[in-house]
Structure 1
Amino acid sequence: MAEVATSASSSANSSARSDQLLVVVDPVARRLDGESVRIAKDVLSAGASHTKVCLPDGPEEFARALARRGSRRPVVVGDDSALLRAVALLHRRRELAGCALSVVPVGSVLGLARSLGLPIGAVAAARAVLDGTERRLDLLVDDSDGVVLGAVGIPGVPVPVPAREGAHAGPGGASESASASAAASAHPWLRTCQSLVRTLAASRPARTTLAPGAAGPARLRVEVDGVTLVDLDQPVDGVSVTPGAGGMAVVEVRPLPAGAEMSPLTASGRTVTVSGAHFRYRADAMVSGPVRTRTWVVREGAWGLTLPAR
C-alpha cells in the first residue's frame, strides 16, 4: 500500500476540527478515473495542514488504513461501495460515533452519494471536505450487524431463474451418457433419432422456474415497533424502509391489488421486522438474502458526514 505525506500552511480561519487528513483512495476509483483522483489529492493537499494519502490495493489494506488513522480525519475517495465499506468497517470497530467521515465521490455508481447531499465533482467535493460541516445522520442496523445508509427495498415478485436443461436426466449422469453413446454406435439408426430429439429440444423455448418456496407474489409480515402493518394473508407488490427524521424509519408497503387499486400502507417507527417465506432485499447498492426474517433498528445520529456548509 503506497503512502504519501504532504503538508501546507494552515489558513487563518481554519476550524477547531483536525486539519490533518488521511486520504484513502479506493483502487476502483484510481482505475476508472485517475484524473479526478489526482485533482482531489491536489486540492486536499493544498488546503490542509497535513495530508497523508494511502493507496490500498484491496479491501484488507483499505481496512488497515482506516484502523491506523490515529487523530487524522478520514477522507474516502471512491464510489458508493467505498463509502459503504468505510461506514461498515467503522461500525464493526465501534468507532463510527466518534468519527466524522469525509467523501470525495469518484466512480460510476454515485447514486447514494448524491442522495446524501455530497457534491459530484472532484473540486467541489474536495472543497466541501475542507470547508464543510459535519452533519449527524441516522443509520439502519440489522440483526446481522449490517448497516444501511439509504434505503431497504424488498421486491414483491421473485425474479425467475432459467431452469437447467437436462436436469431430468437421472442419477446416472455421465455413465448414462456413455451407455447411450455406445448404443448409438452399435445402431446407426439410433444416432439419427437422438440427433432429431436434440434438435427439437434446442428449438423449444427455455423454461423458467422460481426459487423453492418463492412461487407467486410475496407474502410478508411487516411489523413496525411490534405492530403488524401487513400480514401473510395479503400479497404485496413491494416494501421499502428508509431512515427518516428524529430517529424514525419510514415504512411503505404496497399491497397487491385484488380488483380495485389499493393505496400504499405507511408507518413510522424505530424497529422494523419483515418475515415470511425466503426473500431477498436490496440495502443501498447490495442485494442480500435469502432470509426468512430480518429486523432493522434506527440508530439516531449514529454517523457523521462532512457536507457543504449551508
Structure 2
Amino acid sequence: MAEVATSASSSANSSARSVSLLVVVDPVARRLDGESVRIAKDVLSAGASHTKVCLPDDPEEFARALGRRGSRRPVVIGDDSALLRAVALLHRRRELAGCALSVVPVGSALGLARSLGLPTGAVAAARAVLDGAERRLDLLVDDSDGVVLGTVGIPPVPAPVPVRAEAGSGPQGAASVRPWLRTCQSLVRTLASSRTARTAVAPGTPGPARLRVEVDGVTLVDLDQPVEGVSVTPGAAGVAVVEVRPLSVGAQASPLTASGRTVTVSGAHFRYRADAVVSGPVGTRTWVAREGAWGLTLPAE
C-alpha cells in the first residue's frame, strides 16, 4: 500500500485550512477514473494544512489504512461500495459515532452518494470536504450487525452490472469493449439469468412472497397475504419507514405504510438487498433504526 504525505505549499498556506486529512483512495476508483482521483487529491492537498494519501490495493489494506487514521479526518475517494465499506468498518470497531466521514464520489455506482446529498464532480466534492459541515444521519442496524444507509428491498431488485473495458485499451481503461467480447458477455449473462430463474430462492426473482412484517411488535402484514415487495428505509428522528406492497388482485392494492424503531421480517427463506449488497436467504431479519448514528460531511447550506 502506497502512502504519500503532503503539506500545502508556502504560497497556499495562508488560505489552507488548519485540518489534517487521511485520504484513502479506493483501488477501483483509481482504475476507472484516475483523472478524477488526481483532481480530488490536488484540491484536498491544496486546501488542507496536511494531507496523507493512502493507496490501498485490496479491502484488507483499505481497512488498515482507515484504522491508522489517528487524529486525521478520514476522506474516502471511491464509489458507493467504498463508502459502505468504510461505514461498516467503523461500525464494527464501534468508532462510527465519533468519526465524521468525508467522501469524494468517484466511480460508476454513485446512486447512494447522490441520495445522501454528496456532489459527484471531483472538484465540487473535494471542496465540500474542505468547506462543508458534518451532518448526523440515521441508519439501520440488523441483527447480524450489518448496517444500511439507504434502503432494504425485499425481494432484491437486480442491479445493473456495468460492462468494464479491457485493461489497457485506453485512458484509465475507458475504451469500448470489443464487439465480439460484448456478445459473449451478453450470452453468459443470459444463460446465468435463465439458470437463476429456475432457483426458488434466487436473488431478484420476481413474484409474490409470503412474509410477516412487524413494526415495533405490531403486525403490519401476515403470512396469509402475499406481497409483491417490502422496503425499509431510515427515516428521521430514529425511526424506520416501512412500505409493503400487497399482491394486486383486480384493482390496484394500496401500499401499507408504517414507521417505527424496530422492523422484523420473517417467513419462508428470503433474500434482500441492503443498499448495494444482496444477502440471504434468511428466515427472519430484524432492523433497528439508530438516530444520528454516523456523521457525513456535506456541502454547507
* TM-score, normalized by the shorter chain, greater than 0.5: yes
Quote the Cα distance in structure 1 between the aligned partners of 2:239 and 2:29. Answer: 34
TM normalised by structure 2 equals 0.82
Task: Give the aligned partner of residue 209 of structure 1.
Answer: 198
Residues 1:54 and 2:54 are matched in the alignment: yes
- 1:245 is matched with 236
Cα distance, 1:260–1:86 mapped onto 2, change above 3 Å: same
Question: Are the counterparts in 2 of residues 156 and 236 from structure 1 also a CA contact under 8 Å?
Answer: no
CA RMSD after TM alignment? 2.3
Point out where structure 2 has 5 or more consecutive residues left out of the alignment: 159-193
| Deviation, structure 1 residue 70 | 0.2
Q: d(CA) in 2 for partners of 1:207 and 1:218?
A: 17
Pair 25,144 (structure 1): closer, same or farther in 2 beyond 3 Å: same
Q: Per-residue deviation at 1:209? A: 2.8
Q: Which has the larger radius of gyration?
A: 1
Matched, 1:104 2:95: no
Count of residue pairs the alignment pairs up: 261
Deviation track 1:82-134 (CA, whole Å, cap 9, x = no partner) reads 00000000000000000000000000000000000000110000000000000
Measure, in 2, the Cα distance between the counterparts of 1:147 and 1:82.
14
Residue identity matched to 1:225: D
Shift of 1:210: 3.7
1:256 aligns with 2:275: no
* Runs of 5+ unmatched residues, structure 1: 159-204
Q: Distance in 2 between matches of 1:157 and 1:271?
A: 23
Q: Which amino acid aligns with 1:211?
A: A
* Aligned 8 A contact 1:37 1:77 in 2: yes
Q: 1:37 to 1:235 in 2, by over 3 A?
A: same
Q: CA deviation at 1:262?
A: 1.2
Q: Kindly indicate whether the alpha-carbon contact (under 8 Å) linking 2:25 and 2:54 is maintained by their aligned counterparts in 1.
A: yes
Is 1:270 aligned with 2:270? Answer: no
| TM-score normalised according to structure 1 size | 0.80
Give how far 1:216 is off. 6.0
Aligned pairs for 1:117-132 within 5 A: 117-132=117-132
| CA distance, structure 1, for counterparts of residue 212 and residue 262 of structure 2 | 14
Please tell me whether the aligned partners of residues 214 and 221 of structure 2 are also in contact (alpha carbons under 8 angstroms).
Answer: yes
2:221 is equivalent to residue 221 of structure 1: no
- 2:288 equivalent in structure 1: 297
Structure 1 stretches of 4+ with a deviation exceeding 4 A read: 9-14, 205-208, 212-216
Percent of residue pairs identical = 86
Superposition deviation, residue 75 in structure 1: 0.1
